[in-house]
């Protein structure tokens, strides 16, 4: 018997929404833990921050940003279809539109996050804090 995926855009949107939601939840748990480390073990906290600043940390931060962006855009797509049920006719087009927005917003953000991991200057510069 040949097994193959028979879903379509709606099923993929559902699956990616759940996966990104779980990834965001895992980040929140990690964030609570690393904030706890500030008081519990400041030396370990500094080591964790060094991991976040490393290339693998930058990749993880980029993936987190991608999960947040996809989850937000797909959530807006769902809200649009909930408030205006007639738009469910165009759920596939809305899903593709959310992917276009994902790429338009996500690629520059990913470049900004990942540039320091490759020893490059971030393309949009950095803002100096005014004291």
Q: What is the CATH number of the domain that holds 74?
A: 1.20.1300.10
Q: How far apart are CA 75 and CA 52, in angstroms?
A: 28
pLDDT band at 4 (very low <50, low <70, confident <90, very high): confident
The phi and psi torsions of 52 (rounded to 5 degrees) equal -60, -35
Domain membership of residue 70 as a residue range: 9-116
- H-helix or E-strand containing 44? helix 42-53
The answer to the question of residue 124 being in a domain is no
Q: How far apart are CA 107 and CA 44, in angstroms?
A: 32
pLDDT of residue 62: 96
With 0-12 / 13-18 / 19 or more C-beta atoms within 10 angstroms meaning exposed / middle / buried, residue 123 is: exposed
**What is the mean pLDDT of the segment spanning 52-61?**
93
Instruction: Give the tens place of pLDDT for each residue, 75-116.
Output: 999 999 999 999 999 999 999 999 999 999 999 999 999 998
> Into how many domains does the chain fold?
1
Q: Residue with structure tokens 């004291």?
A: 131
The chain-wide mean pLDDT, for the chain, equals 91
The answer to the question of residue 17 being in a domain is yes
The answer to the question of residue 14 being in a domain is yes
Is the Cβ–Cβ distance between 81 and 88 less than 8 Å?
yes
């Amino acid at each position: 018997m040949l097994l193959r995926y028979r879903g379509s855009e709606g099923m993929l949107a559902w699956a990616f929404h759940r996966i990104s939601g779980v990834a965001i939840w895992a980040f929140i748990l990690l964030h609570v833990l690393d904030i706890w480390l500030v008081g519990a073990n400041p030396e370990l906290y500094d080591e964790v921050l060094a991991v976040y600043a490393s290339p693998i940390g930058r990749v993880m931060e980029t993936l987190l940003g991608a999960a947040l962006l996809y989850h937000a855009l797909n959530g807006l797509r769902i809200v649009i279809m909930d408030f205006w049920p007639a738009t469910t006719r165009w759920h596939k087009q809305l899903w593709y539109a959310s992917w276009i927005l994902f790429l338009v917003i996500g690629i520059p953000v990913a470049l900004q996050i990942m540039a320091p991991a490759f020893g490059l200057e971030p393309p949009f510069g950095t803002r100096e804090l005014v004291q």
